[in-house]
């Protein structure tokens, strides 16, 4: 059975409206997906920034620990050198005292 021209036009109008609604729905879906992707990206960037901050804090702590170890080693060496100098000075003074007798 053939459709009347008016019925065909009405059906075409319904299809166009549905297509328009689908277009709007697709635009809303696309906007929602973009927003979701932006949120995910922002979350990933925040996580990366937090990780970088933690890594930086760990690196600073490690460097401070290393500097403290180096400082202790340097002070230990300086104390040992002072002990050596003291021993040499005492030996020289004793030798000079023996000569002066």
Average pLDDT over the chain, rounded to whole? Answer: 86
Q: Give pLDDT tens digits for 73-95.
A: 999 999 998 888 888 888 888 98
Low-confidence residues of the chain: pLDDT under 50: none
d(CA 46, CA 42): 6
Predicted TM-score of the model (pTM): 0.43
- Return the domain boundaries, the chain: 1-75
């Amino acid at each position: 059975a053939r459709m009347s021209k008016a019925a065909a036009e009405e059906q075409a109008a319904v299809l166009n409206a549905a297509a328009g609604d689908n277009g709007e729905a697709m635009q809303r879906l696309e906007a929602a997906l973009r927003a979701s992707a932006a949120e995910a990206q922002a979350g990933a960037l925040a996580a990366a920034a937090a990780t970088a901050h933690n890594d930086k804090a760990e690196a600073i702590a490690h460097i401070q620990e290393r500097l403290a170890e180096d400082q202790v080693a340097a002070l230990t060496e300086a104390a040992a050198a002072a002990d050596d100098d003291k021993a040499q000075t005492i030996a020289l003074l004793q030798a000079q005292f023996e000569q002066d007798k």
